[in-house]
Amino acid sequence: MKHRAQLLAYSGTFVALIAAGSWISIPLPPVPLTLQTLFVLLAGVVMQRYAVIPVGLYILLGAANLPVFHNGTAGLGVLLGPTGGFLLGFIPAALITGLAYERESSRIRIAGLIVACAIYLSAGAAWLSYSASIPLPRAILIGVAPFVIGDTLKAAAAYTIGERVA
């Protein structure tokens, strides 16, 4: 980001997009399929390493009881609940995507998107297992497996959009 005004504008835009993406969902208990992840990845594509700013702000706004999480939920209870690991995993995922997009190599960018998805899915499964007191293999079965195809498509969409926008 070359200018503070640009950083501020992009940050505000991506906070809003991530929040809006949480409302566009397919309810799959215990973790809904949303468009949040697409916008987290796109933040990394467009803002590079600075993507942690809007993603972190999104998490902070939700923790401060602004209804930005799935279906307008908010608060620390959401972050401590079954979906909290996925949400918190967005921060390192945005950073990894952003760092990958600071490189010119398509292979590194694609790898960054894949690793980013693996990060938030892994964090989510680990926290789901802990918070719901279920074995990790079961948490992976219900909290990761249903999302692999969708997240792969969202990563591909982020890459395609990034090739045209960033």
Question: Which structural domains are found in the chain, ordered by start?
Answer: 4-165 (1.10.1760.20)
Say which DSSP state 48 is in: G
* CA distances in angstroms from 163 to 48, 104, 110, 124, 166, listed in the order given: 13, 11, 11, 28, 6
Q: pLDDT tens, 62-117?
A: 999 999 998 899 999 999 999 999 999 999 999 999 999 999 999 999 999 999 99
So what's the pLDDT on residue 26?
80
What average pLDDT does the structure give for the chain? 95
Please report, rounded to a whole number, the percentage of residues in the chain having pLDDT higher than 70: 97
Q: For residue 135, is pLDDT > 80?
A: yes
What's the whole-model pTM score? 0.93
Closest CA to 12 of 71, 84, 20, 120: 20
Measured distance CA(150)–CA(108) in Å, rounded: 21
Q: For residue 129, is pLDDT > 80?
A: yes
- Residues with Cβ < 8 Å from 124, sequence gap 6 or more? 31, 83, 85, 86, 89, 143, 144
